[in-house]
Amino acid sequence: MKVLITGGSGQVGFELQRQFCCFGTVLAPTRQQLDLASGEAVAAYLSQHRPTLILNAAAYTAVDNAESEPQQANRLNSELPAQLAGYAAKHDAMLVHYSSDYVYGGKGQTPWQEDDAPAPLNVYGVTKLAGDNAVLASGCKALILRTSWVYSARGANFMRTMLRLGQARDSLSIVNDQVGAPTPARLIALLTQMAVARQLTGLFHVVPRGETTWHGFAQAIFQHARACDVALAVQPEKVVGIETQHYPTPAKRPLNSRLSVGKLEDALSLTLPSWQQQLALTLDEALMNAH
């Protein structure tokens, strides 16, 4: 099997390289080796290497910048997956494409189901939904995994930012009315491997069990960090919750990012772990890397 991982230097892409290293030849081109913004470059790369499995972890993820750079966001989030799906359909390859909770409207308090009507609130969500629809319309052998609040032991993400700020500041204000499930990239990669091994196709949600707010996530990060003897400047009572309306951003955020995971659990015959358990594992790895 020849596996192509796009976005291999990102959080999910890095973990996918670790999970799929035994599946055959793994190609994870850097930006210098493959310019994903160029349709011609992607077509030439696919023609040269002929992958049989494509894991599309590439995306334009700068949610606020997407409001002023819609063309760039559309190329990576919509046109690229459409191009990869077209290749997969023509060459009988399998495509795994990663999507987002941002395709939903963000209202209510119940977890979104895979067949709920999407209603994205911003350019990022619109372009991600267009990518999903293009993959589904292609007729290729495809697996779409929608996830939320991705973080890892490496790279730029909420967990690592909180660790840095918690050591530098004595007080922090964190949004407390957006609800979702923090999802480590390692778990996404592991579940991808399991799904591919079972030749699973269709649309599924991939998040841990449970829910929290960004404020609750931050508190849990600090609590575990203190248990690991990390010297924090911020005190628990100084981590203040604020509403989204008091933290304005160019792109509107969904308040409800809860994703139902029952469909994936049934398909893989497993029970997903809690977000708290996954945080402990990921934070331990980050702290180990720091030493």
Is 98 a catalytic site residue?
no
Give 224-270 pLDDT, tens digit per residue.
Answer: 999 999 999 998 889 999 999 998 899 999 999 999 999 999 999 99
Instruction: Identify the residue whose tokens are 């009988």.
Output: 92
- What is the pTM for the complete model shown? 0.95
3-state secondary structure of 185: helix
The closest of 226, 218, 275 to 242, measured between CA atoms, is 218
Place of tokens 């699973």: 200
Establish how many alpha carbons lie within 13 A of residue 237's alpha carbon, considering only the half-sphere containing its beta carbon. Answer: 0
- What would the DSSP string read from start to end of 215-281? HHHHHHHHHHHHHTT---SS-GGGEEEE-GGGS--SSPPPSB--B--HHHHHHHT--PPBHHHHHHH
pLDDT of residue 209: 98
Q: Name, in order, each residue with C-beta under 8 angstroms of 274's C-beta and a sequence gap of 6 or more.
A: 208, 209, 210
Phi, psi of 211 (to 5 degrees): -150, 160
d(CA 159, CA 182): 9
| Active-site residue, selected from the candidate residues 45, 102, 124, 151 | 124
Q: What is the DSSP letter of 209?
A: B
Q: Which fold has domain 2-156+181-209?
A: Rossmann fold (3.40.50)
Strands 212-213, 179-180: pairing kind? antiparallel
Which segments of the chain have a pLDDT < 50?
none
Q: What are the phi and psi torsion angles at 232 (to 5°)? A: -110, 140
Residue 264 has a pLDDT of 98
pLDDT tens digits, residue range 150-177? Answer: 999 999 999 999 999 999 999 999 999 9
Q: Taking a C-beta distance cutoff of 8 angstroms, is the pair 94, 141 a contact?
A: yes
β-strand partners of 25 = 2
